[in-house]
Amino acid sequence: MYKGKKICVVIPAYKVSRHISSVVSGIPKYVDNVIIIDDCCPEQSHKSVTKTKRIQIINHQSNQGVGAAVISGYRQAIKNNFDVVVKVDGDGQMDPENICLLLDQIIDKGYDYSKGNRFNDLSLLKNMPIARLLGNSLLSFLVKFASGFWNIMDPTNGFVAISNRALNILNLDKISKRYFFESDMLINLNIYNCPVVDVPMKPIYKNEKSSLSISKSIFEFPFKLLKGLIKRILYKYFLFDFNMASIYMLFGIPMLVFGTIFGLYIWYISGINNIETPLGTIMLSAINIILGMQFLLQALAIDIANIPKVKDDHRE
């Protein structure tokens, strides 16, 4: 146990047979249980692990994706009533010695979800290719916007810890089962007001090749993030609550849409008929666009201030 809490580590295993044994052997002794989920790995990665009392192996009969593998581990951890569950990848890029850093944020500070942040290290950023740095920055901004967690970076970092409370609140059936899993977790954690914190830590690079397709990320992630944003807004501002942000969006979105469509229509009609558009008609479009943008900016400001926070009894 760690600080009187039962701790479980979940490790999704897919094509990590060269590293998973050393990862498991490096898991600290205070971890009570290690659940390895072999996601129908062609290398049968779980067979590389020396079995001990605290190791449990789950085998998927078909490849379901990294998210599905982690969720299988989470479900088993819920059954065993662990207080905190830590997800560690099997490729050796996450230092098990940092597990305690994630646990402290949940046990001592009261967060429901703590996650690693690789981008707090200036030396790492200097050595990162410009294209990758810009790509990660853009992705971080889009995930911030969709999830509502404006205080986090490195959204695709899978080194995370989650509380038993959050696991029991979340609807795990509705969370993405593949590479959108980490981002979708953040969206759902915000919907249910579970506070999240970044924990700075250095990764361990060993020249492993990522299974994540860049082309798939470019074409699939924006659509999934938009869908997640709409879901979060509907749940958080119209189903679970109704506040000034809800009112601003109710007025701002129709006004912006009307002003934009009406303005484009008038511009098109004026162009093909070669006639001047009356000033009043132009102002009708402009006022709707300006007011719509102002309302939405106010809603955004409320959303930024509305990040789920730790309750007072856990603050120092």
Q: What is the CA radius of gyration of the chain?
A: 23
- What is the model's pLDDT at position 316? 45
7-237: CATH class: alpha beta
**Residue 292: CB atoms within 10 Å:** 21
Among the listed residues 286, 202, 295, 177, the one whose alpha carbon sits nearest the alpha carbon of residue 246: 295
And the tokens for 77? Answer: 């951890």
- What is the model's pLDDT at position 58? 93
160-213 pLDDT tens trace: 999 999 999 999 999 999 888 999 999 999 999 999 999 998 766 655 555 555
Residues 251 and 225 sit within 8 Å (Cβ to Cβ):
no
Residues 196 and 186 sit within 8 Å (Cβ to Cβ):
yes
Residues 92 and 23 sit within 8 Å (Cβ to Cβ):
yes
- What is the model's pLDDT at position 118? 82
Report H helices in the chain. 20-25, 66-79, 99-107, 122-127, 130-147, 164-169, 181-191, 214-234, 244-273, 279-305
Residues 38 and 13 sit within 8 Å (Cβ to Cβ):
yes
Average pLDDT, the chain: 89
Phi, psi for residue 31 in degrees, rounded to 5 = -80, 125
88-102 pLDDT tens trace: 999 888 999 999 999
**Residue 234: CB atoms within 10 Å:** 12
- What is the model's pLDDT at position 218? 66
29-82 pLDDT tens trace: 999 999 999 999 998 888 888 888 899 999 999 999 999 999 999 999 999 999
Q: Compute the average pLDDT of residues 253-266.
A: 96
Name the pLDDT band for 111 (thresholds 50, 70, 90): very high
H helix or E strand, kind and range, residue 197: strand 196-200
- 14-18, 64-68, 69-73, 119-123: least confidently modelled range: 119-123
- What is the model's pLDDT at position 216? 59
Torsion sign, CA atoms 156, 158, 159, 162: positive
Name the pLDDT band for 125 (thresholds 50, 70, 90): low
Looking at residue 80, its amino acid is N
221-254 pLDDT tens trace: 889 999 999 999 999 999 999 999 999 999 999 9
H helix or E strand, kind and range, residue 36: strand 33-38
And the tokens for 23? Answer: 């990862």
289-314 pLDDT tens trace: 999 999 999 999 999 999 999 987 65
- What is the model's pLDDT at position 52? 85
What is the C-alpha separation between 281 and 284, in angstroms, rounded? Answer: 5
- What is the model's pLDDT at position 217? 63
Q: Compute the average pLDDT of residues 263-273.
A: 92
Phi, psi for residue 171 in degrees, rounded to 5 = -90, 95
